[in-house]
Amino acid sequence: MKLLHTADWHIGQLFHEYDRTYEHQSFLSWLHETLIAEKIAVLLISGDIFNLSNPSVVCVKMFYRFLKQAETVNPDLQIIITAGNHDSAARLESPKPLLEASNIHVIGLVEKKDDGSIDYEKLIIPLKDKDGTTKALCLTVPFLRMRDYHNIAEAENPYAAGVAAFYAEA
């Protein structure tokens, strides 16, 4: 089972006021070709898909067009997307019900149970081969915000301590 891990696409980013749309489209074309040539089974996209939490329509279309093309060419491809600090977690998750039908999993938010505890089970995605056999489990953790983990106020670095505790508990 081949996995390809990417991150920090920053679609929509300007570089000194230079529009990088062509570069982003070239990257997505290269990635699409690579998924086919290398027979990738799982594509992991770890955050900062967009450069802004409220990306332009052009950027959003570019992203979803890529996902559709990848899924069309290889219906067995699993795509796992986690939100980064530049992404709007809720916006990224909004088409989740539609994407899951295409084997595309989006984790933008850390869900909590009724008692307020973290629902770690919702962060675990089975990685399956073409026969549907689970070969591995993927803990899909988006960029963690303070509301996502237990605050350890007495720590020297409360953020680092909270994130470490989150992973230890997972």
Give the SS3 label for residue 131. coil
CATH code at 97? 3.60.21.10
What is the bridge-based pairing of β-strands 78-82 and 3-6? unpaired
What is the bridge-based pairing of β-strands 124-128 and 104-107? unpaired
Q: pLDDT digit of tens for each residue in the chain (170 aa)?
A: 999 999 999 998 888 888 888 999 999 999 999 999 999 999 999 989 999 899 999 999 999 999 999 999 998 999 999 999 999 999 999 999 999 999 999 999 999 999 988 999 999 999 998 888 999 999 999 999 988 887 787 888 888 898 999 999 88
Residue 91: inside a domain, yes or no?
yes
Give residue 118's domain range. Answer: 3-145
Distance CA 106, CA 86 (A): 15
Indicate the number of domains in the chain.
1
Is 127 within 8 Å of 143 (Cβ atoms)?
A: no
pTM of the model: 0.90
